């Protein structure tokens, strides 16, 4: 019931807070393992969910169910990722060509979060503000490498949803 009201009851990737402002944090993430699909036809979420076994038998070589984590990561170039649980050092091979296992190397990101509904306009607004504020603060970011993070299941009431935008920090 808590997930309806925004409780995030699944594993989230660990990170170290490098610096913090009232609007954003700079977060350092370790190596993470993820599964990825291209979202050209809005089917990526379902493909990833099938791989971990949310919708029935897991569509991976081991037929192994894998726990859902948060956030679901989306990128401007239409990639969607599920970060795999930290207990997984290797991931079973996907059964189809629509999903692939990817390594997310250690990286640092400027991240701003907000609660409420999400839309393309909301993401773009938070992204613009994050880019401007981080740059003004002297944080060197690669404006071409950014992600949108969604932390709650679809049944969460929109006003309680946690969202984030992250821009890769360089240097």
Given a cut of 70, is residue 89 above it in pLDDT?
yes
Instruction: Report pLDDT for 5.
Output: 86
Q: What is the mean pLDDT of residues 73-99?
A: 93
Q: What is the mean pLDDT of residues 136-150?
A: 95
Given a cut of 70, is residue 1 above it in pLDDT?
no
Q: Cα separations (Å) of 23 from 19, 48, 76, 102, 137?
A: 11, 31, 22, 30, 11
Please give the domain boundaries of the chain with CATH numbers for all domains: 10-29+106-169 (no CATH), 32-104 (3.20.80.10)
Of the candidates 87, 35, 33, the residue with the CA atom closest to the CA atom of residue 61: 35
- How would residue 53 be classed by pLDDT, with cut points 50, 70 and 90? very high
Tell me the three state secondary structure of residue 38.
strand
Of the candidates 12, 16, 31, the residue with the CA atom closest to the CA atom of residue 151: 12
pTM: predicted TM-score of the whole model, two decimal places:
0.92
The tens digit of pLDDT for each residue in 36-52 reads 999 777 799 999 999 99
Cα–Cα distance between 9 and 14 in angstroms, integer?
15
């Amino acid at each position: 019931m808590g997930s309806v009201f925004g409780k995030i009851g699944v594993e989230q990737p660990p990170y170290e807070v490098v610096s913090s402002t009232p609007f954003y944090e700079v977060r350092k993430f370790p190596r993470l393992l993820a599964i990825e699909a291209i979202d050209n036809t809005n089917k990526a979420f379902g493909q990833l969910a099938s791989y971990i076994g949310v919708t029935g038998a897991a569509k991976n070589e081991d037929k192994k169910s894998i726990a859902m984590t948060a956030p679901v990561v989306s990128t401007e170039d239409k990639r969607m990722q599920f970060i795999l649980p930290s207990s997984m050092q290797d991931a079973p091979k996907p059964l189809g060509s629509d999903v692939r296992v990817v390594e997310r190397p250690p990286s640092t990101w400027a991240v701003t979060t907000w609660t409420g509904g999400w839309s393309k306009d909301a993401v773009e607004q938070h992204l613009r503000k994050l880019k401007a504020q981080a740059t003004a603060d002297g944080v060197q970011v690669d404006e071409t490498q950014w992600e949108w993070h969604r932390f709650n299941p679809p049944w969460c009431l929109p006003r309680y949803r946690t969202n984030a935008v992250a821009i890769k920090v360089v240097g």
